Amino acid sequence: MSTEGPLRPLARNPRGFADKRGRDLSAERRIVRQVSEVYERWGFEPLETPAFEYADALGKFLPDADRPNEGVFALQDDAGSDEPGDWMALRYDHTAPLARFAAQSWETLPKPFRRYAYGPVWRNEKPGPGRFREFWQCDADTVGSDRPEADAEIIAMACQGLQAAGLAPGQAQIRVSNRKLFDGLFDAGGVTEAGQRLTALRAIDKFDRLGWDGVVQLLGEGRLDESGDYTRGANLPATVKGAVEAFLASANTPGLTRAQTLDAVARSGDLGAAGEAALNELAAIDRALNAMSVDPAAVTFDPTIVRGLEYYTGAVFEAELLLETADDKGRPVRFGSIGGGGRYDDLVARFTGQSVPATGFSFGVSRLASALRAAGRGDADAVRGPVVVIVFSEDDMAHYLSAVAELRAAGIAAELYLGRAGMKAQMKYADRRGAPAAVILGGDEIAAGQVTIKDLDAGRAAAAGIADNEAWKAERPGQVVLPRAELVSAIRRIIE
Amino acid sequence: MSTEGPLRPLARNPRGFADKRGRDLSAERRIVRQVSEVYERWGFEPLETPAFEYADALGKFLPDADRPNEGVFALQDDAGSDEPGDWMALRYDHTAPLARFAAQSWETLPKPFRRYAYGPVWRNEKPGPGRFREFWQCDADTVGSDRPEADAEIIAMACQGLQAAGLAPGQAQIRVSNRKLFDGLFDAGGVTEAGQRLTALRAIDKFDRLGWDGVVQLLGEGRLDESGDYTRGANLPATVKGAVEAFLASANTPGLTRAQTLDAVARSGDLGAAGEAALNELAAIDRALNAMSVDPAAVTFDPTIVRGLEYYTGAVFEAELLLETADDKGRPVRFGSIGGGGRYDDLVARFTGQSVPATGFSFGVSRLASALRAAGRGDADAVRGPVVVIVFSEDDMAHYLSAVAELRAAGIAAELYLGRAGMKAQMKYADRRGAPAAVILGGDEIAAGQVTIKDLDAGRAAAAGIADNEAWKAERPGQVVLPRAELVSAIRRIIE
């Protein structure tokens, strides 16, 4: 193979795709592991669907995907032949593949079917700083239960999952509402057209960001934003805009309990039959959360919660980090949403024509990892390096290799330096690897049946000035010479 | 959204893509977890590269990819605009992305750089029974060490990884050779053209399957196989064919030690300077394996090992399941290769022009899971279901929910049945879920402060006839009524 000339490829990641290692990767894997343990304890089974789905099975439910056929990575399946075939696309979430799987396997599944899933999803969007086109999501869903207790279970489990991942009680909150409240409002106001209702819902979904002044423009003719982009509005009648305003403002009092919020919302105006049903479902969710002893402050009802996705049909949830973090200029910012979900009773029916009720929750794994770093919990994922055995002479390889094998057999992470650099560079290497200790078996040590151990943890502590007194130094000498037989026990003393 | 009419998509997987759940998924995840623990104990750090690479960075190293630009899933990156851009492709292995990463990050990495990686890879091949286009691989590589001890470490670690995953000593073997032995043979015979050498190597790689008669045709003009397909041969001179035959046959005596194999190979003919270097490297690998106390039977030297991939430059390894398994008709079959690897000193240089030595090992996670099932170790991955709490009345939901919450708080996997079916269907559901027990809180039980527990494990044992004596039945009554406060302790007795 040619290794010269101008035809060498450039070593770079595709735009919007990142490599992960070290503390960040360790954090994401720990989150997935700990959340999975919670989900399994709640009776949810793991399911892994493939990266690709046929494009028609995937559907087009990405929010704000203005361009038709865009937003996903798609290609035509030639199935190893020269004939282009059906379009396939990489999954953009875990919900659409679940709906396909449930429709395909419905007859043979235990019902209701509870499953969790994690793994990468792909979105073909314009990449930018902090904006990736591949990221991990972790989902849990119950398919085949129309009971509000199924929603309550998802909400309570999401709370427990976030805590298992490292968020303290009080650092996150799940805000809950119900899409049917808006169905009732629109029914009562005579707004029947599905597209108009969806445009209105997406406008209301921006309440957090735009406030009522922005939302009311989007509920009316439209809105010109600061960058000069114009977004067409839902053109709701003035009476309906008024009803929406009263509805959104109804529970705008800090500290309301869930029951108080339901009372306030019920008094806000005519919510129609759908709205009444929604209030009953929310009341049942409230009772179920109490029966499961979920911290009352961890889940609130909030009529401003909508969720942008088209397919939600009932309860909707959004998990928000309450912690205030600082931006680049030190100003406090709210971290915002770290996940969400809701009830989607029509997604399986896309395939089968038969309605199958379903509800679920999804969170972004990288986003939760960032939230945990913002919450000051990043240290939990610091990566500890292996013990490094130093190499001096080719002739003594067997001594080094048996030492390193002995450490591993004792369950201690250890490696032999296998480059060609000298002692000084090897010590620097050990330090960069975060090694707790370096093991030195020079010719003298080997001849005397001894080993020298450098305590690099102690060295780092001394350098950081946290161990600047004599007693500590006496207890943790930087370097000791010991009989070779004491290697494992001496390393254990440093590590434990 | 429309849920009717003829436009409903068909719920099906793209061809060659499968859903995974239950025991199979549990086995694959366990394998990845246990092998990762071994790799981290050996000082290898996790690295996760993205699914996509630019096509030029990925290169074309798939074996037997006859069609140019095929074998991978590729698309043009429009980066969210309407302009088609550079070609991207899904990774087909973990080695090419590592080479890209190492070239890109070389200045800032600790060197040598040891990393492991796992995750799906994608191959755009003709799907067929048992032939998937997405599958998991698990790799470990050392980049930046030219020492044979780095190869030995990879081999020894692979042995330990396979054992950690569940293969007993003696069930798998790693066979090792060195590409430079063939370089030496070809040099000595005057075969200098790279394409001709690669064709010859790929012919020799089929020795296991075709035997010498088939290989010698492919080393000559070519071979017509049973299906009528003709494969062009390497057109080696007769003297070189003879030298290859003597070389391959040299160590064809069962039970040779590694040192005896090296002796036999050295006596087989003129191996040139490259062959001498190869024998020295293999001797160093032998010494290193002995120093690490690797079971001598676990690693053999075998001159017939080649590996089909173009990029190997030195030591090559192949892990083989020794177990004989039975085919559909009960005939014994060898399971064959479950992984392999080798030294590839030029792959990073594709990008940088500077040679960076590297060596690594890769195994197929699904393939290893199949191997473990064939080895009778599938039971380890049986999935235990959650305890199921039965639902009778809407009014008693709070009682059910607090019982299930209590079980989970005690660390017991538990769920509340949330469908709408009656008692009989719920018991069937609990059985299908593999539940160890069902918890019954009828109106009478609740009024009396009691709970009924059905021991489904005992029921299954009785049904299987393995518990057909009176003493066992007395100890494990199928159903007990207890004070409600004893729920957790009673379930613990069944589970533990």
pLDDT of residue A67: 44
Q: Which of A379-393, A405-419, B236-250, B472-486 has the lowest mean pLDDT?
A: B472-486
Question: Could you tell me which residue, B84 or A73, shows the higher pLDDT?
Answer: A73
Question: B312, B343 in Cβ contact below 8 A?
Answer: yes
Omega before A112 cis (within 30°)? yes
Token pair in block for residue B101: 């990463």
Q: Given pLDDT bands bounded at 50, 70 and 90, which one contains residue A427?
A: very high
Mean pLDDT of A370-379: 82
> Does ipTM exceed 0.95?
no
Q: B457, B458, B422: which is closest to B440 by C-alpha?
A: B422
B149 touches chain A (CB under 8 A): yes
Give residue-wise pLDDT tens across range A298-350. 999 999 999 977 889 999 999 998 877 777 777 777 788 899 999 999 999 99
More confident residue, B127 or A452: A452
Is the predicted pLDDT of residue A464 greater than 90, yes or no?
A: no
How far apart are the C-alpha atoms of B213 and B208, rounded to whole Å? 11
Per-residue pLDDT, A121 = 97
User: Is domain A384-495 classified as CATH 3.20.20.150?
Assistant: no
pLDDT in tens, B168-193: 988 999 999 999 999 999 999 999 99
| Nearest by CB: B415 against A42, A56, A293 | A42
Statement: residue A199 has pLDDT above 80: yes
Q: How confident is the prediction for chain B on average, in pLDDT?
A: 91
**Separation of alpha carbons A411 and B42, rounded Å:** 10
What's the pLDDT at B82? 61
pLDDT at B95: 95
What is the SS3 string spanning A287-302?
HHHHHCCCCHHHEEEC
Instruction: Tell me what pLDDT residue B440 has.
Output: 97
Stretch (H or E) spanning A268: none
CB contact under 8 A, B3 and A433: no
- In terms of C-beta distances under 8 Å and separation of at least 24 residues, what long-range contacts does A266-271 make, across chains too? A268/A303, A269/A185, A269/A188, A269/A243, A270/A184, A270/A185, A270/A188, A270/A243, A271/A181, A271/A184, A271/A185, A271/A188, A271/A247
Give the strand pairing for B74-76 and B113-122.
unpaired
Higher pLDDT, A143 or A57: A143
Which pLDDT score is estimated for B80?
57
CB contact under 8 A, A80 and B125: yes
**What pLDDT shows up at residue A68?**
41
Contact status, residue A258 vs residue A299, Cβ threshold 8 Å: yes
* B231, pLDDT greater than 60: yes
pLDDT score for A462: 77
CB atoms A290 and B398 under 8 Å: yes
Query: What pLDDT score does A81 carry?
Result: 62
- Least CB–CB distance from A429: residue in B17, B51, B110: B110
pLDDT confidence bin for A458, thresholds 50/70/90: confident
Express each pLDDT in A135-185 by its tens digit. Answer: 999 999 999 999 999 999 999 999 999 999 999 988 999 999 999 999 999
Helix (H, G, I), strand (E, B) or coil at A62: coil
Query: What percent of chain A shows pLDDT beyond 90?
Result: 74
Looking up tokens 């343990």, which residue turns up? A37
Fold of A22-191+237-380: BirA Bifunctional Protein; domain 2 (3.30.930)
Q: Is the pLDDT of residue B161 over 70?
A: yes
- At A434, give phi and psi (nearest 5°): 70, 30
- pLDDT band at residue A83, thresholds of 50, 70 and 90? low
pLDDT value at position A370?
A: 87
Q: What are the tens digits of pLDDT across the range B32-65?
A: 999 999 999 999 999 999 999 998 888 765 544 4
What span, in angstroms and rounded, lies between the C-alpha atoms of B310 and B67? 16
Please compute the mean of the pLDDT values over residues A361-369 and round it to a whole number. 94
Kindly state the average pLDDT of the residues A49-56: 94
Q: Which residues contact B367 (CB under 8 A, 6 or more apart)?
A: B135, B338, B339
Q: Cβ A56–B429 below 8 Å, yes or no?
A: no
Q: CA nearest A405 in B: which residue? A: B292
The domain spans of chain A are: 22-191+237-380, 384-495
- Can you tell me the mean pLDDT for B462-477? 66
Same fold flag, A22-191+237-380 and A384-495: no
8 Å CB contact of B80 and A415 = no
Contact (CB<8Å) B43/A415: yes
Report the alpha-carbon distance of residue A231 to residue B423 in Å, rounded.
Answer: 54
Size of interface A-B (CB pairs under 8 A): 307
Q: Please tell me which residue of chain A has the smallest CA distance to B313.
A: A1
In chain B, which residues have their Cβ closer than 8 Å to the Cβ of A292? Answer: 401-402, 404-405
